[in-house]
Structure formats: C-alpha cells, structure tokens
Structure 1
C-alpha cells in the first residue's frame, strides 16, 4: 500500500528504489536525487520488510520533494523481484529509472537518459557506465559497458554487461514482457534484459552517471558467486526461446535448493550446440566450483570443440 498517492498527471520519469534495512545509505541516495538537473520525476520507494530506520528516513525525505512525487510502498518481503514488481504496479510514468538504496545518481543522470530515450524511440532500455565507490563513498574504480546497441546485444548473449542501478526503461515494454521474474532473483536484471531484446533495442550511454557501491553484504560478494550460475540459467532460458524451444521450468525454491544441479541437468539436456565455446567452458567451471560432478559435460565440450577444429578451447575444456 502506498503512503502517498500519485498526482493526476504522472511525471515523465519515476525512480524505482527497493530498500530493506538501508538506513545507513538511503539518505545519501535520496539526496543525490534532490540534486538532479531534471525535475519532472517522482520517487517510488519500496520498503521491503525493513527493521531499521529505513521507513523513517524515507518519510523525512518525502517532505523535500513536490507534493505527490514521493511514494512509500509496502513491499511483500519476498525478494528483489517481488519488491520491484510491487513498485511497478503503482507507477504510471512512461519511463522508469532504477536505483538501489546504497547507490548515487550523478546530477545529470536523469536528464541525459531522458534525452537519449527520446532521441531513440526504438530503445526499450538504456544503461550507463558507473563509478565504483566503497562503503565510505570514495571512488575506487570504474566499470564500463558496451558502447553500441549491436555490441550490447552480442555481449548480453554471453554475459550480463549492464548495471541494474543505472537503467532507465519504458514501463509499458517491461510490463508487456511480464515484469521481473522472482525465480531468477540474483540475476533478475539479466533475465529482463534478454526478454526485452526479443522485442526491441537496448542501448547505453558512454558516461559514468551512477556511483555504484561495493560492500561485503551484496549478492555479487557471496561466497561461490552463485549469482553467476543463476545468470547461466537465465542465458540458457533465453537461448531456448531463441530456438523456439520451451525454456527451463524452475521455481525459485527448486533453484535455491540446488542451483548447480539444475544448471548441470539443463546443460546436459541441451548440450553446448547453441552456446559459444568460451561461455560453455565458463559454465562448466562454475559447476565444478560448486562441487557438482561435471565429467560428462567436460566430455561433451571437448568433443564439440575437437570436431570443430577448435583445439585451444578443447584443451581448456579438459582443464576445466
């Protein structure tokens, strides 16, 4: 349930922020939005079961935004996709910008993304490059993304190459493909990108417009990097759709129970026929690191590359 109602004429952009126990960083995040050069936007913050002062901080900042342009939505506390879908359900703006409760938008972020989306009506989604910050907010690194829609499409069928807190998308397009899918939490953004690619283009700005915070508690820092195996499952599902095959049917619970076994079984069924050798080898390595038997998969990968005369990849397959 939203604590404030949207105005009768929705703004051009709504910034969608899921938050759970984000009291330490939320104030800085919302301050970065108050500093935006573009002003025709609203904030939809989904409080997804917080037990700290997240809600109180959000209420405080709501008073700094124009009336009706800051909503606090009660999240279902069932994971990131469910929280994002709860926010999308109340948004009426044609454009939605994502931001996490510990990341920062540069002052011209919304302005630059709105402009490029208006100039490219066939783009369904636009990302940006990022500056990496540490827990104290100091810039420690930079991360790039592909520069053209053609390169983005190619790279997305190899790995996720866009940063979720940077994206701006057309709400109608995301709703048309079904929103976020909770069974792929951890790689829910990658799953969304690949489904959108089946209907239109995805672009990116060659500018660092978001400050992306790295800290020990985030998903990408988890031991064994299970999010990468989840991303592999997302990619296999997309490849199945491309070839007009049924995609894997998994629930969030079955994937959480044994993700490595699910990935191994799916690769064993489909083989490596539609996957580049490099991507297939990396999938096999991740299965091995999860302590799942991959002997049969290594044999298939070696055989495929050897028959194709790709002896370098065949040798790497044996060493995986």
Structure 2
C-alpha cells in the first residue's frame, strides 16, 4: 500500500484545534460520493482526512476542499472494509492522531460534529467510542427514519444485542484504545464494527451524543441478500460469544436476530419506516 505524506499533528493541541482528529473514510470506487461526503464537513478548525482507497479503479483522488488536509492511503488490491479500516487505524496511530472520526462515502455529516465529539471525549477519558443520532435517508435525500440509540454506557451494555446501539459512520474512536483492543478484524465478516465495539466495552465505555450528527444514506438497491445474511450470521456468533444468561435483553436480542435471519430485507425496512417517524431532513 502507498500513501502520500501527512503533516503530523501539532503538539500541544491549541484550544479549538482538531489537529489530533482525523476523519477515517474507506472507499471503493464512488469518487462522486467521496467528494460529496467530504464537502459536507464544516468546522471552525482545519480538518484532517484519511481516505483508505480499497483498490478502486480508477483510483480515488483527494478532492481540493477549503480548510481540509486530505491524504489517500492506497491498498494494493480490494480486500474489504475490515482490512481497509485496520490499515487506516494503524496509519493514524503512526502519524500521531488520537481520534478517528468514522464516515462512509455517500453519508453526510452535520456542521461542528468533530468539535462536539472531541470535546466530549476530552471530558470523558473512560469513553473509547462516541456515536451520534442519525437520520437515515434515501439516495435522493428523502428522510426514511431516525436512529436514536441510548446515550449512556450502562444502557448500551444492557441492550447491546436487542437494538443497534451505534451507527458506525457516526463514531469517533480513540485510536490507542482501538489498537489496545485488537483493532478491526476479519473474524466477523460484515459485523466488524460490532466486534470492535464489544471488545472496546470490555476495557472502556462507549456512549452516544443524543443529537443529530449524521445523515446515513440507505442504498436499498445495492444491498445484497448474501452480505445481509453474512452480517446476521456474524452478529449471532458474537451474541453467543458474549451472551449473558442473566440479561433478559440478551435473550430478546437473540430471538430478534434469529427472526431477522429468516425475514426478507425489504419487509424489515418497511417495518422500520412504520416504527420510526422521521425527525429531521436534509
């Protein structure tokens, strides 16, 4: 893999600076989505970005955007999001960044997200991962439903398998904590995020800011049944590994995912749209 040079973060970090934060975005093709996603960032300080190009053809090119320093780390071939994120975290650690702010190509962020998450993590050193509430939208920007996971670590631990407690592209992660927990892994394909969060919560806390931080694009036409079934199978394996027989929510979560395994994807999406009323729009 190859990478252009990154300007190391300034030490010490000046008040209001984001020089110890880097946006981490894996990408495979989709140059237009990369450009649109990065253009959605708006902060009062300079923004650092690491795009992990997972073997795109043609290669991803860093867009020229104001107030933004963008580097591209190129993987030698397409190896999947697990390897791309693992390499990205290792690269950020080598460059001295403390925080990695996740986002995926196609998603949009809200103004000031990075500063809010960094401020929270600075004030809560025991928290290793911090997500935000998320508005799910269609490809054309139509609001579909809102994801409002619990904010407090204790509540998250209780319902970790009953509901999705984190929206991966909304997360800001402590780089050293991720590496201490073993980094992203390929052991649980399509559930690499849940695998990481469960390992983080064995050592640290994880939380959510109870406010809108991300517009998550749901591309229903691009989701394959094979990938979905693999994701649910990996989730079930993780549930069994971390299962707490004394937690009724673990039992309910197991039943829920078994039901998901046999329920068509489009049926589940219709159920979500009925259950979650849209609370924000583009």
TM range (shorter): 0.7 to 0.9
1:30 counterpart = 2:4: no
Q: Kindly indicate whether the alpha-carbon contact (under 8 Å) linking 1:224 and 1:289 is maintained by their aligned counterparts in 2.
A: no
Residue 139 and residue 281 in structure 1: after superposition, are their counterparts in 2 closer, same or farther (change >3 A)? closer
Q: Kindly indicate whether the alpha-carbon contact (under 8 Å) linking 1:229 and 1:286 is maintained by their aligned counterparts in 2.
A: no
User: Tell me, what secondary structure is at the counterpart of 1:129?
Assistant: strand
1:195 counterpart = 2:199: yes
User: Normalising to structure 2: TM-score of the pair?
Assistant: 0.80
Residue 127 and residue 51 in structure 1: after superposition, are their counterparts in 2 closer, same or farther (change >3 A)? same
2:60 is aligned, of 55, 59, 71, to 55
Q: Distance in 2 between matches of 1:217 and 1:288?
A: 19
2:220 is aligned, of 212, 216, 221, to 216
Whichever of the two has the greater Rg, that structure is: 1
- How many pairs does the alignment contain? 250
Q: Distance in 2 between matches of 1:156 and 1:145?
A: 10
Name the structure 2 match of 1:126.
130
- For structure 2, list consecutive stretches of 5 or more residues without a partner in the other structure: 11-18, 265-282
Name the structure 2 match of 1:7.
7
If each structure's helix is expressed as a fraction of its own residues, which one has the higher value?
Answer: 1
C-alpha deviation, 1:21, in angstroms: 1.5
Q: Deviations over 1:205-231 (max 9, x none)?
A: 001111100112555x63683122221
Alignment of 1:37-48 (within 5 A): 37=44, 39-48=45-54
Name the structure 2 match of 1:82.
83
Q: Kindly indicate whether the alpha-carbon contact (under 8 Å) linking 1:128 and 1:204 is maintained by their aligned counterparts in 2.
A: yes
Name the structure 1 match of 2:118.
114
Residue 236 and residue 178 in structure 1: after superposition, are their counterparts in 2 closer, same or farther (change >3 A)? same
Name the structure 2 match of 1:140.
144
The RMSD of aligned alpha carbons is 2.5
User: Tell me, what secondary structure is at the counterpart of 1:90?
Assistant: helix
User: Normalising to structure 1: TM-score of the pair?
Assistant: 0.71
Q: Distance in 2 between matches of 1:70 and 1:161?
A: 30
Name the structure 2 match of 1:252.
none
